[in-house]
Amino acid sequence: MDFEVLNGLLRPKSVAVIGASNTPGKIGYLAVKNLIDCNYPGRVYPINPKEAKIQGLPAYPSVLDVPGEIDVAMLIVPAARTIAVTEECGRKGVKGLIVVASGYSEIGRKDLEDELVATARRYGMRLLGPNIVGIMCNSDKCNASFGPFMPLPGKAAMISQSGALLIAMTVASYVRNVGFDKMISVGNMADVNFGDLVEWLDQDAQTTCITIYVEGFQNGRRFLEIARRAHKPIVALKSGVSAHGAAAAASHTGAMAGKGKVYDAALQQAGVVRASDLNNLFDRTLALSLQPPMAGSNLMIISNGGGVGVLAADAAERYGIPLRFAPDDLQAALRAYVPEIGSVKNPADLTGMGGWPEYLATVKTALQHPWVHGLVVLFCETQRNDPMDIASAIKRAVDESGVTDKPIAVSFIGGAEAERAMKWLVENGLPTYGAPDIAVNAIAALHEYAQMHGIGRDGEPVTEEFTPYCDVDADAARAIIAQARATGRVYLSEIESKKVFAAYGLPVAVTELAKTEDEAVQLAETMGYPVVLKIMSPDILHKSDAGGVKINLRSAEDVRAAYRAILASARAYKPDARIEGVAVQQMAPSGTEVILGSINDPTFGPTVMFGLGGIFIEILKDVTFRVAPISAEHALAMLADIQGAPLLAGARGEAPRDRIALAEALSRYSQMIMDLGDEIAESDANPVLVYAEGHGSKVVDARIILR
């Protein structure tokens, strides 16, 4: 991304409004009016073929008639006319286009959109939109949009895929008391997209937090890489779920992925903080834009009422930062300001006796104590106290503490006086909310951000850097796939699938095809008893239903009898079935059943899934996803993500399962689906049996569906 080119587009020094109008209510009228009303210091050039003046400013028939340079042209003429206008902009040397006009890919006119982008590219212009509201920037006094209001000034930057929502958020920002420096509408993202904007905002001096409303990314993987590298917190509200949903899915993994779980995983991997709804987006933006990350999990709560303290403690547990008792020396230090009837444990309860001097002293003491990583201060408006006194005491305590690397969130519960004090606190850099659980949720956002980015994370940091395994045989895997394709198939047989898995070092149960009874015996003798025999036929998918599976065969006689029985039942089940032979497989000892799966997600590409087998996947849908590839360490953390994780850790007296071996298998699998991403659509190893620690795991069945 070229920072300077985007600067020209997003911080223009001159704006031409093509389609500027004198007719009140028209979008071309609003755009000019907004630039005038916001006291935009740059040059504004209204373009209109019929008018000499637009709202008092000299107008020009075309950008080519404008005497000065033009950084940005807003295209507010019907879509069909935008190509010709773009040509003129290119010839004029305009740097960037804000295409407000609708009528492109969103209504099936992708051709027009492509032509628009191609024309802009020919002249080296970047393009925001089409189908957008425009851009707003408080620090540049620039409202190049048809949204009538600039947002409340602040430090966040909002990127929205919905134009209407963006306009609504400008007004809501005043009511919610959450400030934004910039708001950018991205619409169809024909050229400039989320990734470009995050990269640019990450370098923007006025932005401390990037807030996004996203319906879908265009190049999910690129966004992930940019987001992961960003130095500023990103908070996202994602709407909708992935389109390739359950119905079209040919595998367990595909069905599970249809619930937006891939987005959840991808955004988590990218270190993006999530918001659960619009209110939560505002609340989390406020905290992330004003406060530092919470570099540890010791949250202290100070209140003047037991009830709100308990509500906050409940919320802390709900949002992943359960309270711990304050250490003895901190309790002793707080005791000097807390009456005997109050508590110093955590939450610290100053009781109704607590006034501004107690808030000042306890907030300062807590912030300065090394055990505390973050602070939530609660105040119930009582007759004894003026909320403004409490607010100034909190602010003074923060300033006097000299602590700048620990976050603080505040909640005042009360009436109009409390509201005024809360507004003052926000204006002074302290995120303040009307309910204790919201304050805790906001500080949890700072904790999540820190945890995802390894800032004071609990325990050892996870190595997420993936180093490819060298002992894999991609050529062998590709040869197997090519052979299957040569016979016109878009799937691999169980034996072929297992060979591909084995080529990547996954521990598959050895399986070979026997075409005769003798061959079956020979294979069994080589592998060692006991063995399993399974029918191999492209026309029989459910082998057990066809009487096509015999297990625990312990001798040559067993194998011969099983071979004959399988063929007989398969023929009876489906007389015209094409029978390739019988698979002979080492019989794996029983173990904990898990499933490894993969899909090629339309947004994020190859993605792995992990879950426990049986009812855990069928009924509980207890699975977790990661965008591939993932390191073995990362895979180990992934195993702990599912609700059934204790079963692997060794629940109810069972020996812990070999999670190290399983994690390596998962990591190797992630490499396999990356390397073969151009070939594999979906795959799974199901079941994989996991044994006690030190005894590894075994892939018992596998399948691969080609793209």
Encoded one letter per residue, x for contact with ligand ACO by CB under 6 A and - for no contact, window 376-415 reads ----------------------------------------
What torsion, rounded to 10 degrees, do the Cα atoms 581, 586, 590, 594 define? Answer: -70
Contact 320, 447 (CB under 8 A): yes
Name the residue with tokens 């109704």: 352
Q: Which of 101, 450, 452, 524 binds ligand ACO (CB under 6 A)?
A: 101
Residue 332 in the binding site for ligand ACO (CB under 6 A): no
**H-helix or E-strand spanning residue 121:** helix 110-122
Please tell me the distance from the alpha carbon of residue 570 to that of residue 550, in angstroms, as a whole number: 12
Is residue 57 close enough to count as binding ligand ACO by CB under 6 A? no
Chosen residue from 15, 38, 76, 690 binding ligand ACO by CB under 6 A:
76
Q: How far is CA 254 from the centre of its chain?
A: 19
Question: Is residue 132 involved in binding ligand ACO (CB under 6 A)?
Answer: yes
Segment 152-171, which members bind ligand ACO (CB under 6 A)?
Answer: 163-164
Q: Which is nearer to ligand ACO, 129 or 581 (CB)?
A: 129
DSSP class of residue 692 equals: B
| Dihedral class, residue 455 (left if φ above 0, else alpha if ψ from -120 to 50, else beta) | beta
| Residue 102 touches ligand ACO, criterion: CB under 6 A | yes
Give the binding range for ligand ACO (CB under 6 A) out of 100-108, 197-205, 583-591, 647-655. Answer: 100-108
Q: Which of 31, 77, 394, 588 binds ligand ACO (CB under 6 A)?
A: 77
User: Which range binds ligand ACO by CB under 6 A, 45-53, 367-375, 538-546, 668-676?
Assistant: 45-53
Q: How many residues bind ligand ACO (CB under 6 A)?
A: 27
Q: Would you say 30 and 59 are in contact if contact means Cβ atoms under 8 Å apart?
A: no
Distance of CA 684 to the CA centre of its chain: 24
Choosing from 37, 53, 64, 78, the residue that interacts with ligand ACO (CB under 6 A) is: 78
Least distance (Å) between residue 161 CB and ligand ACO: 10
Name the phi and psi angles at 471, rounded to 5: -85, 35
Q: Which C-beta is closer to ligand ACO: that of 89 or that of 391?
A: 89
Q: Is 91 in the site for ligand ACO (CB under 6 A)?
A: no
- CA–CA gap between residue 381 and residue 365 (Å, rounded): 23
> Does 128 interact with ligand ACO (rule: CB under 6 A)?
no
Give the residue from 568, 560, 564 showing the smallest Cα distance to 525.
560
User: Least distance (Å) from ligand ACO to the CB of residue 44?
Assistant: 14
* Residue 74: both structure tokens together: 């807003």
**Beta-bridge partner residues of 235:** 211, 273
Could you say whether residue 85 binds ligand ACO (CB under 6 A)? yes
**Which CB sits closer to ligand ACO, 180 or 563?**
180
**Which is closer to ligand ACO, CB of 50 or CB of 231?**
50
Nearer to ligand ACO, 50 or 652 (CB): 50
The CA-to-CA distance between both ends of the chain, in Å, stands at 32
**Structure letter (DSSP) for residue 536:** E
CA atoms within 13 A on the CB side of 626: 30
Our finding on whether 131 is near ligand ACO (CB under 6 A) is yes
* Residues forming a β-bridge with 205: none
One residue of 8, 42, 103, 650 binding ligand ACO per CB under 6 A: 103
Closest contact distance (angstroms) between CB of 176 and ligand ACO is 20
One of 48, 385, 451, 667 touching ligand ACO (CB under 6 A): 48
Question: Which sign, positive or negative, has the C-alpha torsion 334, 338, 340, 341?
Answer: negative
User: What is the residue whose two structure tokens read 């926000």?
Assistant: 426
The angle that helices 387-401 and 356-368 make with each other, rounded to 10 degrees, is: 30
Nearest approach, Cβ of residue 145 and ligand ACO (Å): 9
Query: 706 has which bridge partners?
Result: 680
Judged by beta carbon, residue 1 or residue 57, the one nearer ligand ACO is: 57
Q: Does 509 bind ligand ACO (CB under 6 A)?
A: no
Cα separation of 558 and 521, whole Å?
9
Which residue among 6, 27, 523, 531 contacts ligand ACO (CB under 6 A)? Answer: 27
Would you tell me which residues interact with ligand ACO (CB under 6 A)? 18-19, 21-23, 26-28, 47-51, 76-78, 81, 85, 100-103, 131-133, 163-164
